[in-house]
Amino acid sequence: MKKVPGELDTGESRWPEPLVLLVGSALVFLLVACQLAIAATFTVTNTNSMGPGSLEDAIIRADTMPGHDIIRFNIPGVGPHIIRPLSPLSPLVDPSGVTINGFTQSGASPGSNPPSSAILKIELDGRNLGPGHGLPVPGFFILSSNNVIQGIVIDSFENDGIRIQAVQDTASFNYIFCNFIGTDRTGSVARGNGYDQEMPSAGINILVRPGSGEMYATKNIIDANLISGNHCDGIRISGFPPGDIFSNRILNNYIGTDISGNTDLGNKYSGVYIGEGAHNNVVRGNLISGNEFEGVCIVGNASLGVLSRQNVIEENIIGLSAAFAPLPNGRDGVSIGVEGATGEIGWAIANEIGPNNVIAYNGRNGVLVWEHPNSPSNADQNRISENSIYDNVGLGIDLGDNGVTFNDLKDPDSGPNEELNFPEITSITYDAGLATITGTVDIDVAPSRAVIEVFRASPDPANHGEGDLFLDSAEPDTGGNWTVVVAGLSSSDFVTTTVTDLKLNTSEFSRVEAVVGVEEQGSRLNVERSTFELLQNEPNPFHSRTVISYSLPVAGGVTLRVYDIAGRLVDTIVDGEQKAGVHRVEWSPKQASSAIYFYRLEARNHFEMKKMILLR
């Protein structure tokens, strides 16, 4: 939970006031990186385009003052207060940075769960600006490091809502928190930025332009913003050598929806675009739905031979609303190598899709991997692991944008992810809630060092299903044979699998097989353990049901209870005598809302507790 920052004194070694908003790794990240003193505080007292008390005047004064400055707002009246510049705001160029804090205006607050809980009172509206004549005209133009922008509505600008660009040195350690970018102040009406299509734009654009020299844009954080309704990409991260753009974090944003997360307010292009050599960026915990192109697009540059690589897409909701209803992106949920309908680019390797993304209802495939024909290995080693992928119009995973890529003997071919053969399921036997699944995989690199992932399947017309629930994984032997025993299935379910090889290529989903022939004749799994052990629930996070496994060294009384974060009892899953061995139970909460919960196992004076996350 993020809290509204309090006022800080301007001590020699004090941090700017918004840093109390940061939690976890972000706080450590900025505290360690930027030891800055607060130099001065400037207060905006009117909505004028320039002159004393204006935002422009405060930016000019902060840029010329050494040290990290703070810009506060104290405009009379209940608001909202709309600032409509008649000329572009001055760029932020002070190396020590400035904090522009819209939450200092009376009545503004991020609330307990931003962006959906936020109330913003300061709006920056670009509709009165003239054309840029080939120059970027963003809302805020950041050309330096250590800046913080929070609590501002930013709309109707010709180019980007916020532009972070490395020009003379680096543009790093900037923190963009809880702004509405491309909507009105209610977060429910589109007022997009980026209507000038002459240059690539985005709601938030982080970039190093071609010919910029050895400039760097790195370690910027985009957190808990509403980025919707723009005439361009929601977020764009791109850069060309010899410059570099890496290690930026896109966290907890709503991208393409309204403030509730349940209504389409999509950006015109991709929700998140990562391209032209961007690498090691993280997209985590976002709601990315309703955008006209892809939810997430990762491409390189085929003409220059520049690879986008090692980007991580995890724990996002892509193609659904906050209530898990369909809210599709127009094309693929995640596209590696293709942008829009015609941008077949390729040149994206070693990216990681997962774990714990939910990718559903999108207009084409769940995940697409496409390789440019000018090189035999420019879209390989893309790992797609432990996600929930279902009900997309096309395949769950498509290697090549050409439908099911069927297996070939010994897997000699090349192509996206080397067109890795998918596993084949040879048998499923089911007894007392446990399914024993056996199969084979025919791949050309060290089968015993590959990983088979097993999913409950959502069948599609191609009969190569999408994996809607990750169940477990298995390691094949040297001959490619594998077996796994899983809980969480019923006699009406289907199963599918993928394989990820030693080089981190992931296959398409395998042919779907049905769970049939159920006879309840007692548990087939009764493994004696010498220790008491509670395992992590699977999947985690989950949205409808999850499986909790534990082992008991001896028989006895057992309780398994679920508590909320305040320590209140939510549910009792198990309360009774159980035999020694491995036990698996399913929890399907009916009334619980999205939150962090704790499950506690007690048996014979021994207890253990773990955390799980429910996402509705």
What single string gives the DSSP state of each residue in 206-228? EEE-TT--S-EEES-EEES-EE-
**Strand pairing partners for 421?**
none
pLDDT higher for 593 or 267? 267
DSSP 609: E
Q: What token pair was written down for 139?
A: 């809302």
Cα 486 from Cα 453, distance rounded (Å): 11
Highest mean pLDDT among 350-359, 414-423, 528-537: 350-359
pLDDT at 195 over 90: no
Identity at 291, one-letter amino acid code: N
Residue with tokens 């299935």: 489
| Res 1: pLDDT | 28
| Res 14: pLDDT | 29
pLDDT higher for 117 or 4? 117
* CB-based contact 474:483 (threshold 8 Å): yes
Predicted confidence (pLDDT) per residue in 407-439, tens digit: 888 777 789 999 999 999 999 988 878 899 999
pLDDT band at residue 209 under the 50/70/90 scheme: confident
pLDDT at 5 over 50: no
* CB-based contact 45:72 (threshold 8 Å): no
pLDDT higher for 334 or 301? 334
Mean pLDDT of 289-316: 95
pLDDT at 579 over 90: no
Q: What token pair was written down for 117?
A: 């809980």
Q: What token pair was written down for 414?
A: 């090349």
CATH 2.60.40.1930 residue spans of the chain: 533-614
Give the SS3 label for residue 382: coil
pLDDT band at residue 131 under the 50/70/90 scheme: low
Cα 85 from Cα 158, distance rounded (Å): 12
For domain 533-614, the CATH superfamily is Macroglobulin (MG2) domain (2.60.40.1930)
Which of 56-70, 347-361, 376-390, 410-424 is least confident?
410-424
Cα 118 from Cα 98, distance rounded (Å): 22
Cα 383 from Cα 500, distance rounded (Å): 7
* CB-based contact 326:359 (threshold 8 Å): no
pLDDT at 291 over 80: yes
Cα 248 from Cα 311, distance rounded (Å): 10
pLDDT at 243 over 60: yes
Give the SS3 label for residue 59: helix
pLDDT band at residue 531 under the 50/70/90 scheme: low
| Cβ-based neighbours of 61, under 8 Å, separated by 6 or more | 40, 42, 69
pLDDT at 8 over 90: no
Residue with tokens 């049939």: 516
The answer to whether the pTM exceeds 0.85 is: no
pLDDT at 584 over 50: yes
Residue with tokens 């320039």: 50
pLDDT band at residue 29 under the 50/70/90 scheme: very low
Mean pLDDT of 345-363: 95
DSSP 409: T
Sheet of strand 282-284: strand arrangement:
38-44, 68-73, 98-101, 148-150, 175-177, 221-223, 249-251, 282-284, 312-314, 352-353, 383-384
Cα 576 from Cα 558, distance rounded (Å): 5
DSSP 57: H
Residue with tokens 């994984």: 473
Which of 155-169, 264-278, 544-558 is least confident?
544-558
Strands 68-73 and 38-44: parallel
The H or E element that residue 575 is part of is: strand 569-578
DSSP 18: G
pLDDT at 110 over 70: yes
| CATH architecture assignment, domain 423-514 | Sandwich (2.60)
* CB-based contact 580:548 (threshold 8 Å): no
Cα 570 from Cα 95, distance rounded (Å): 50
Mean pLDDT of 341-362: 92
pLDDT at 560 over 80: yes
pLDDT band at residue 232 under the 50/70/90 scheme: very high
Q: What does the longest C-alpha to C-alpha distance in the chain come to?
A: 83
pLDDT at 235 over 70: yes
Cα 334 from Cα 294, distance rounded (Å): 6
CATH 2.60.40.10 residue spans of the chain: 423-514
pLDDT at 132 over 50: yes
Mean pLDDT of 551-563: 88
pLDDT at 247 over 60: yes
User: DSSP 3-state helix, strand, coil percentages of the chain (rounded to 5)?
Assistant: 5, 40, 55
- The rounded percent of the chain whose pLDDT value lies above 70 is 89
Mean pLDDT of 534-558: 85
Mean pLDDT in the chain?
Answer: 87
How many residues comprise the chain? 616
Cα 48 from Cα 21, distance rounded (Å): 29
Identity at 220, one-letter amino acid code: N
What are the E-state strand segments in 247-325? 249-251, 254-255, 272-275, 282-284, 287-288, 296-298, 308-309, 312-314, 317-318
Residue with tokens 């936020």: 118
Predicted confidence (pLDDT) per residue in 437-449, tens digit: 999 999 988 889 9
pLDDT at 387 over 60: yes
pLDDT at 2 over 70: no
Mean pLDDT of 230-238: 97
pLDDT band at residue 212 under the 50/70/90 scheme: low
- The rounded percent of the chain whose pLDDT value lies above 90 is 63
